Amino acid sequence: MSTSLPEEDLSCPVCCEIFQDPVLLPCSHSFCRRCLERFWKSALLRSCPVCRRRASKKSPPSNRALKNLCEAFQLGKGQGNASGSNLLCWRHGEKLKLFCLVDQEPICVVCQASKMHKGHDCSPTEEAALECKDKISSAIMVLQQKLEVFNKARQSSAFILEHIKTQAQRVERQMKEEFLKLHQFLYAEEERRLSALKEEEEQCVTAVKSRDEDYTRSIGSLTELINTMEQTLKAEDLTLLQNFKATIEGTWSTLQDPERMSGCLVDESKYLGNLKYKVWEKMQTIAPYSPLILDPNSAHPCLTLSDDLTSLHYSTPNQGLPSNPERFHISAEVLGCTAFNSSSHNWEIEVGDNEDWILGLASESVKRDQEVPARPENGFWTICFRDEQYRAMSSPPTALQVEKKLQRVLIQLNWDKGEVVFLNPSYQEVIYTFKHAFTEKLLPYFYTQSKHPLRVLSKPVLLSIN
């Protein structure tokens, strides 16, 4: 029904296009809502653009009947004019020969001349279609690449989840083994101390019993002497007088008074005084303190770390490690797990027979996915041993004079003074000193391509009482 109406009856008097969201004024004229608002914005009074009658309402009501007629007209126009791939303009019924580059839509030549597209750049539909296809193809390639990135990230997530489970199981097993050693030590120490207590108890009991036997013999002698003297008292006077001298002298020659038994009790303080501390102090023989712990999450796959994370050596690559950002991916490097940004710190490394190593400190932000020289400009302060030569990795590298092959290297960091000092602990000789105004956190740094281990030496624990 609507398709039989003339297009002029369904056109807005302002834009001359099919009504879009038509509204009805009190004067019975209809306009596109947007066209009316645009007209009122530029006019002094809110009036009808056709008859100039003043409108009483700020927001005129929608003309739903007219809107339905326009929609039916556009639908019938589009369906009736469809011919193969050449669709007609739903507004003007003309062929869509142009593509508006501003509004990104196909239009007809009448649309190009209308107010809606006037002054817009346009291209022939064939040319525009080729350009759009190229853009869509390029967009698809970008999205496919992005999809591949996300698929790889998801695969990496699955791999990391599996690695986390493996890590947790390995750490749990090692923790149980370490605690078992501690338990065995405590049980053995408990048995040793209880055995010592039992031995002292027996010694004290034996000593008291021996003294008690002496007392028993003394009591027997005194009892016998008292009986003899009592018999003397009962004798006749002459007999008493005759035996008096011997009897009275025997009285003064009797045993001395028993001495008080000192030190015969169990020394409780020896067993209970600071018991936990003494056991802990002795426990250091099986639980040494390491001033430095290696970070396995930063270790290159070619490095194998000890269970206690205090030594490393070069080995066959471990393919079961995730490619996390903290890990070195190019060179056989690893960092310590504690970062320093103040005060003084030192640790000693046993290099032994290792003939290819680099030791020192690295900034927290050093590149881990690229191979860069371990020099100060790249955030490294190190010395190295390679090809039987010692060098400080300065810029350029500095050859070091070392009389005997180093077995150990002592590294001292004074962050506040900006110094990294390398020493030979066997002779307390300074090997090399770096000076730099540090601004980042520093981490202990290790590199090796030798199967001989580099080992962090333990330190004795010194206590101070506050």
Task: Supply the CATH number for residue 17's domain.
Answer: 3.30.40.10
Sheet holding 303-305, edge to edge: 303-305, 311-314, 454-456, 344-350, 408-414, 419-424, 429-435
Residue 383 placed within a domain: yes
What pLDDT does 252 receive? 64
Query: 314 and 439: one domain?
Result: yes
Query: 187 and 277: one domain?
Result: yes
Residue 112 placed within a domain: no
CA distances from 330 to 136, 300, 301, 304 (A): 38, 8, 9, 15
What pLDDT does 79 receive? 56
Domain boundary among 53, 80, 107: 80
Residue 201 placed within a domain: yes
Query: 213 and 320: one domain?
Result: no
| Domain membership of residue 45 as a residue range | 1-80
In the numeric block, the tokens 């369906």 are attached to: 79
Residue 439 placed within a domain: yes
Q: In sequence order, what DSSP letters do the residues of 58-72 get, joined into one string?
A: SSPPB-HHHHHHHHH
Spans in the chain with pLDDT lower than 70: 1-6, 57, 76-87, 250, 252-255
In this structure, what token pair is assigned to residue 110? 């009448």
Total of domains in the chain:
3
Residues 321/301, Cβ–Cβ less than 8 Å: yes
Pure H helices in 237-274: 237-252, 268-272
Residues 32/21, Cβ–Cβ less than 8 Å: yes
Residue 319 placed within a domain: yes
For residue 100, give the 3-state DSSP assignment: strand
Positive or negative, the CA dihedral 182, 183, 186, 188 is negative
Predicted structure pTM score? 0.65
Q: Which of 49, 89, 406 is nearest to 98 (CA)?
A: 89
For residue 363, give the 3-state DSSP assignment: strand
DSSP 250: H
CA torsion 207-211-212-217 (nearest 10°) is 150
Maximum Cα–Cα distance across the chain: 178
Q: Which of 419, 416, 292, 410 is nearest to 343 (CA)?
A: 416
What pLDDT does 5 receive? 64
Alpha carbon distance 464, 326 (integer Å): 37
Query: 364 and 224: one domain?
Result: no
Residues 8/81, Cβ–Cβ less than 8 Å: no
Positive or negative, the CA dihedral 16, 17, 21, 22 is positive
Query: 305 and 449: one domain?
Result: yes
Domain boundary among 258, 283, 308: 283
Residue 126 placed within a domain: no
What pLDDT does 245 receive? 82
Q: Which of 1, 66, 84, 5 is nearest to 30 (CA)?
A: 66
Residue type at position 443? L
Query: 314 and 274: one domain?
Result: no
Alpha carbon distance 75, 69 (integer Å): 10
Residue 425 placed within a domain: yes
Residue 176 placed within a domain: yes
Residue 394, domain CATH: 2.60.120.920
In this structure, what token pair is assigned to residue 175? 């923790």
Query: 399 and 302: one domain?
Result: yes
Residue type at position 112? Q
User: Which residues are CB-neighbours of 421 under 8 A, at least 6 positions away?
Assistant: 411, 412, 413, 414, 430, 432, 433, 434
